[in-house]
Amino acid sequence: MDYMLQWRVLPLLTLLASFLFLFYVQHSSKSSHKECSLLPYQHYWITSKRIVTPQGVISGSVEIKEGKILSIVKEEDWQGKSKVGHIVDYEEAVVMPGLIDVHAHLDDPGRAEWEGFPSGTKAAAAGGITTLVDMPLNSFPSTVSQETLKLKIKAAKERIYVDVGMLSNLYLSLLIILGLVFLTILPTGFWGGLVPENAFNASALEALLNAGVLGLKSFMCPSGINDFPMTNASHIKEGLSVLAKYRRPLLVHAEIQQDSEIHLEAKDGSDDAHSYSTYLKTRPPSWEEAAIRELVAVTKETRIGGLAEGSHLHIVHLSDSSSSLELIKEAKNGGDSITVETCPHYLAFSSEEIHDGDTRFKCAPPIRDAANKEKLWEALLFVLPVTWSYGRKYGVTLEQLALWWSERPAKLAGQELKGAIATGNLADIVIWEPDVEFDLNDDYPVFFKHPSISAYMGTKLSGRVLATFVRGNLVYKEGKHAPAACGVPILAR
Ligand SMILES: *[C@@H]1O[C@H](CO)[C@@H](O)[C@H](O)[C@H]1NC(C)=O
Ligand SMILES: *[C@@H]1O[C@H](CO)[C@@H](O)[C@H](O)[C@H]1NC(C)=O
């Protein structure tokens, strides 16, 4: 009899255990969801006198439900609307689509320093950035194949994954209990690397693209990372023809090393790096011009009817505003699918303003050390105030900011549901006060570890970020972050 009883009780016990387990998992997933946001509502309205939409700036309300923008109502149409849900009134503050940084280096796996990672992603959210797209180098190994992308996703998931899956919820709860929330709070996408090793191998590139990278990235000069060698125009041409099928872009660091007066490459710590003018001479505009001449010869294939029609070439952080820019304009006018970006450093500073020995201002060479990495994160934190403070001297409008920092990057990264405050889009939103001036030293919350190395320290900037929403979650509010990191890896389909 005892024997029989055992056989009946065991399955029952197992069943009971499973129920308890499921209950725990469900419960933990709910509580972790609450931790994702500083606002305890799933359905609410954001109200403001200045909401930046693709149709212009309006006064009204944005309805958000379960992470998406459900409706946008102008103030004059508000009467008679039933106000279901909580209302968050931001009055005169600007409500804009969240910024998308397509140029992040998360250095992970392999080169991540744990303490730098959470501070960096927090800085991004505090700067109004709601999405990061990770560059394929600086992590080890570089993201140049299907296998290395998998490593990257795995590394990201262990830190940013919350929404689905039992293991991850348990893992998150465990981390919270231990007080070790080393998690990124932003959705993160990935670029893959175009390198000589995979450029002529269409099946390797296709595998990488099938695995979900949003596009490819390559260098026309040494990247500074051994497992990320530079490509030439032939590699780029091959890459574009594969990308064409996927309608995804190629991002290129456009500099070709030429003989210059000074042959030493400026490296941190070398004497030559001490003077900024010396540094500038080692990377003269002619390097960019040489690269862009080769590129525009290749981008002809991106025209309608060309071998690479459907692909797109994007030049990252161009600093030469003269002949290089002219060449790009010409190509664009001819029908080439080509765009260019610059970085806030180039907009904010000119070389005459930079004192010798001030290595904080280096932007072109790849990241090599901790100080440089901090500089990148600091760039994230100050994207909005810096672009705005310097840009508005040149008449930059809120609509233009939204176009540059949200709509266009979203398009580049193929994110149709991001980049604009529009019905049906994800509720990725930044709330900020463009007219509030502040001194960097005193007033602004600084999240990176070595504030003294910030190039902007001591300057007066305007534009203070009040709040950042990611998929409807209030992840940042006036110096405070949501307790849990609820970013998701973004993969191309
Ligand atoms: C091309 O890439 C595939 C997949 O990575 C690999 O199996 C194959 O050996 C490569 N072919 C050449 C010629 O290198
Ligand atoms: C680019 O490099 C490859 C070798 O990886 C070589 O076969 C090709 O001729 C080079 N193309 C140009 C334009 O230099």
Three-state SS sequence of 238-256: HHHHHHHHHCCEEEEECCC
- 366 with 257, same domain? yes
Domain end call among 381, 403, 420: 381
The model's pTM is 0.72
Domain span at residue 411? 94-214+383-493
User: What's the CA gap between 44 and 32, in Å, rounded?
Assistant: 20
Ligand 2 pocket check for 233: Cβ under 6 Å: yes
Contact 86, 47 (CB under 8 A): no
Domain end call among 363, 381, 399: 381
- For ligand 1, the distance from its centroid to the CA atom of residue 144, given in whole angstroms, is 13
Count the domains in the chain. 2
- 198 with 249, same domain? no
User: What's the CA gap between 21 and 19, in Å, rounded?
Assistant: 5
| 363 belongs to a structural domain | yes
Contact 319, 350 (CB under 8 A): no
Ligand 2 pocket: which of 198, 220, 235 to mutate (most atoms within 8 A of CB): 235
Q: State which ligand 1 atom lies nearest to the alpha carbon of 197.
A: 14
Q: How far is CA 165 from the centre of its chain?
A: 25
Question: Could you list the pLDDT tens digit for every one of the 493 residues in the chain?
Answer: 444 445 555 555 555 555 554 444 444 444 456 788 999 999 999 999 999 999 999 999 999 999 999 999 999 887 766 666 799 999 999 999 999 887 666 566 665 543 335 556 677 788 888 887 777 776 667 777 888 777 777 766 645 422 221 222 222 222 222 222 223 446 677 889 999 999 999 999 999 999 888 999 999 988 877 788 999 999 999 999 999 999 999 999 898 887 754 444 444 444 444 454 555 555 677 888 899 999 999 999 999 999 999 999 988 877 766 788 889 889 989 999 998 876 554 444 343 333 333 333 333 433 334 454 455 455 556 778 777 887 787 777 899 889 888 998 888 888 899 999 999 999 999 999 998 887 765 555 555 444 444 555 566 778 889 999 999 999 999 888 888 777 777 788 7
Burial class (CB in 10 A: 0-12, 13-18, 19+), 460: exposed
Domain end call among 319, 348, 381: 381
- Which residue CA neighbors atom 13 of ligand 1 most closely? 201
Burial class (CB in 10 A: 0-12, 13-18, 19+), 25: middle
Token digits of residue 89? 């009134």
| 443 belongs to a structural domain | yes
φ and ψ at residue 118, rounded to 5 degrees: -65, -40
| Domain of residue 443, CATH code | 3.20.20.140
